[in-house]
Amino acid sequence: MTATRIVIAGVGGQGTLLATRLVAETALKEGLRVRIGETYGMSQRGGPVMGHIQIGEAYSPQIRPGDADAILGFELAEATRRGVTYLRDGGLSIVNRKRIPPVEVVSGMRKYPEEDELLGLLRRVAGRVFVIDATSLAEKAGDPIAANVVMLGALAASGVLPYAEESVVEVMSGSIPPRFLDLNMKAFRLGAEAFRES
Amino acid sequence: MGNEAIARGALEAGVRVAASYPGTPASEIGDTLASVAKQMGIHFEWSTNEKVAFEVAYGASMCGQRSLVSMKHVGLNVALDILEMAALRGVKGGLVFVSADDPSQHSSGQEQDQRWLAKQNCIPCLEPSDPQDAKDFTVVAYELSERHKLPVMLRTVTRLSHMRSGVNLGRLQKLDIEARFDFDQFSYTTAGFDKLFYGGEKAANEKIAAVADEMNGSLLNSLSMTGGERVGVIATGQTYNYVMDSLIRLGAKDKVAVLKLGTSNPLPAKLVSRLIKGVEKVLVTEEPDPFVELHVKALAKDVNPVVELLGRMSGALPTEGELSPLIVDAAIAKMLGEIPLPNLRQALEAEARDLLFGRMLTVCAGCPHRASIYALKRAVKTVKGDIHKVVVNGDIGCYGLTWAPPMSYEDTYFCMGASLGVSQGMSHVGVESIAWIGDGTFFHAAIPALINAVQTKTNIKVVVADNGVTAMTGFQPNPQSGVTAMGEPTKCISIEAIARAVGVEHIEAVDAYDLNATENAFKRMLEANGVAMVISRRVCATEAVRRMRPKRPSPYMVDESKCTGCKLCLSTFGCPGLNYDEAKKKASIDPTICMGCAVCAQVCPSGSISRRDD
């Protein structure tokens, strides 16, 4: 059974869905079978968002616990939450060092855990945890909002996907509106370079 | 996406009129049609509610045109009256309606399984498994509807509505059928009372029996069985994907016969019989109720009473909620006499749960509803002495999330428009309450209840949290937006004018971002005699930012030299843009989240919050 399985996790408003779709669109362009599932419920309202992608021999997009080849975590806590459930032993996790405190933390009911505690849990399953400051890199590219594409760049450079980094670039050129393209291309390259330099 | 595929299927079938009311997980069907309706030369509308949407579609159908109605599962409850009549009186042009069910209630108050309504009303119910099916089944549904003169239910679940995969497209088509009403009052009015009363049900029963015959040979169902299997699965709709993935995982493709079931009502009796006669055990996978399982059980009594039926009734699957790959893996493994694969991550997940917060729902940064509920809480406290002297009856929409801390102000939350009705019942027994309702929901279902309050002299207090759009489902226009779903300018329908017209005497409108003005208006409402209404108005913050793109709102910041670290902004207001630095003992604002609404600056007692640019 051959399939590439990716989980993308974050919080509503971070652009996880765009990243999920670009991964899948590239797979389609490459002639691969792909299924993606999105859970976003009431995501604009600060809720957790998650995308499952299965490329290859799969009927449902839903990934079983312990089966994902990689997790792309857009937010520190969400990366850990989903990583411990879905990442396979020895899998890759790419984590944005961004904290989006939920209302429990904002209103003082809970504490946001330390980065070490969170990553410590994640390391118990991950073969590799690559922490990236995607929001700062996106700022460098021109807008912090492009952190999602920085993350995508890192994923594309990691070699987990069954196609080349340049294929994603081609799909982006065709599907992102021209006025945002330059920003997104810069963000993508910065993410990819950060992964390669690590 | 499953929803986009349904819209495409309707266009390939030559749909002429489509109507919907937005609701997750159905909304993108309408969003897709809205975006192409002009170009395709069809009519699409976001109707006032689902009943109106269904009636619009039925009107077009009676004139021979193909029509589509889509809604979330509970929307079908609203449309049930006309749905029943359309089934009994019959359709002419194909009428397909989508019930987008939400097992495990990802975005709903409950997970009601609407297939029972198809059964109750002699309506064919089709259940696609993936986006390709969703498109193909929609096209077939129109043919079925016209052949049998019945409305057809296309029943989806959230996992299909929001599933994406490649879809092979067919040709878009425009049907050249003259729109004509046959003046046959015996078909559509009580002039044919005898015929209808004694014949409507009979005709519907005969029609659905004819559909049942056809389903045995339909491409919507397929049985994969060699005869050598000892067990089988009836895989309904989307659960087919889990079943196939399980068979791959367990290496059991040759050991299990699979009926991919696309028509849960009526069941393809011959196909089901062939399966249950040929094996010892059958697992029925479906979501969320044992709808198919129950009917298979009835069939098995005649066909093979000793077959062991496994499913949600037998205890092999959970009694409610959606299924998952792991649940289906375990059920199939068990049926094969194998040990189910364990979930190896349970212990680690438990550790993560202890460490992590749950990420509770709240309204967005800059949301005007947070400001309104903050002001309402203060007003009730001032006027009544205690916030719990008054029950806050909430309604369906983003503002319904104000039960969540730290806003923590909403006591009931039921269904569209219920807040005004239940407030009246409370009033008659001397319990004070406030109806807390949004603009879209007000138009959808609250106007009759408002009329009722005035007519019965029931002095309820109504707060309309008016953010100008149907925000929760994706910013669709509503009757006061001044624009149709197809982008045409139209009249803005005023909430104040409606309230005035039905006889509400105390009506005020305020800017929700002005905390003092809003609080004072609420105080006057609480002290007013008669039915009283305050419209707390401000466009949805997320919509406002969408409109100003690519510009961003200018964010606010905390002056650390003034901040006393009292945390009032966090503990009483709790906007997601706020944060607290434990080391410095100062509040802070995340500029990437802040919407620049300035309400937290009004909450701060030390005046330490101001605009970054100033």
pLDDT at B405 over 60: yes
pLDDT at residue B153, as a whole number: 98
| Overall average pLDDT of the A8-14 stretch | 90
Nearest chain B Cα distance for residue A122, angstroms: 9
Token pair listed for B102: 């939400």
β-strand pairing of B609-611 with B556-558: antiparallel
CATH of region B368-547: 3.40.50.970
Domain locations in chain B as residue ranges? 2-215, 222-335, 368-547, 554-611
Chain A interface includes B324 (CB < 8 A): yes
Is the preceding omega at residue A102 within 30 degrees of 0, hence cis?
A: no
Calculate the average pLDDT of chain B: 95
Residue in chain B lying closest to A87 (CA): B345
User: Which residue does chain A place closest to B542, by CA atoms?
Assistant: A44
The per-residue pLDDT for A42 is 59
What pLDDT, on a 0 to 100 scale, did the predictor assign at position B195?
Answer: 59
For the stretch A122-155, pLDDT in tens is 999 999 999 999 999 999 999 988 999 999 999 9
- Look at residue A44 in the predicted model and tell me its pLDDT: 60
- A107 and B570 within 8 Å at the Cβ level: the answer is yes
Is A56 an 8 Å CB contact of chain B? no
pLDDT at A109: 86
By the 8 A CB rule, do A93 and A111 touch? no
Interface subset of B 397-416, CB within 8 angstroms of A: 398, 401, 404-406
- Tell me the average pLDDT across A152-171: 97
Q: Which residues of B touch A33 (CB under 8 A)?
A: 165-166
pLDDT at B279 over 70: yes
From A37, A64, A80, residue closest to B352, measured CB to CB: A80
Q: Is B579 on the interface with A (CB under 8 A)?
A: yes
Q: What is the pLDDT of residue B198?
A: 61
Amino acid code (one letter) for B435: A
**B242, B247, B248, B254: CA torsion to nearest 10:** -150
Average pLDDT over residues B356-367: 90
Q: Among all residues of chain B, which has the CA nearest to that of A54?
A: B165
The reply to whether domains B2-215 and B554-611 share a CATH topology is: no
Contact in structure between B50 and B71 (CB atoms under 8 Å): yes
Domain B554-611 has CATH 3.30.70.20: yes
Quick one: pLDDT at residue B344?
A: 84
Percent of chain B with pLDDT over 90: 88
Question: Residue B395: is its pLDDT beyond 90?
Answer: yes
| Interface touch B406/A107, C-beta < 8 Å | yes
Q: What is the pTM assigned to this prediction?
A: 0.96
Confirm or reject contact between B164 and chain A (CB < 8 A): yes
Q: Which residues of chain A have a CB within 8 Å of the CB of B471?
A: 44
B321 touches chain A (CB under 8 A): no
Per residue in B2-31, pLDDT tens?
999 999 999 999 999 999 999 999 999 999
User: pLDDT tens across B176-209, in order?
Assistant: 999 999 987 777 877 666 655 565 788 889 999 9
Question: Between A and B, how many CB-CB pairs are < 8 A?
Answer: 171
Residue B233, exposed/middle/buried by CB under 10 A (0-12, 13-18, 19+)? buried
Domain B2-215 has CATH 3.60.10.10: no
Question: Pairing relation of β-strands A48-56 and A34-39?
Answer: antiparallel
Domain ranges of chain A: 3-134+164-173
How large is the ipTM? 0.95
CATH number of B222-335: 3.40.50.920
Query: Does residue A112 belong to the interface with chain B, where contact is any CB pair within 8 Å?
Result: yes
Q: Which residue has the tokens 């994406």?
A: B164
AA letter at B276: I
Q: Calculate the alpha carbon distances from B204 to B127, B185, B351 in Å.
A: 21, 18, 56
Give me the CATH code for the A3-134+164-173 domain, please.
3.40.920.10
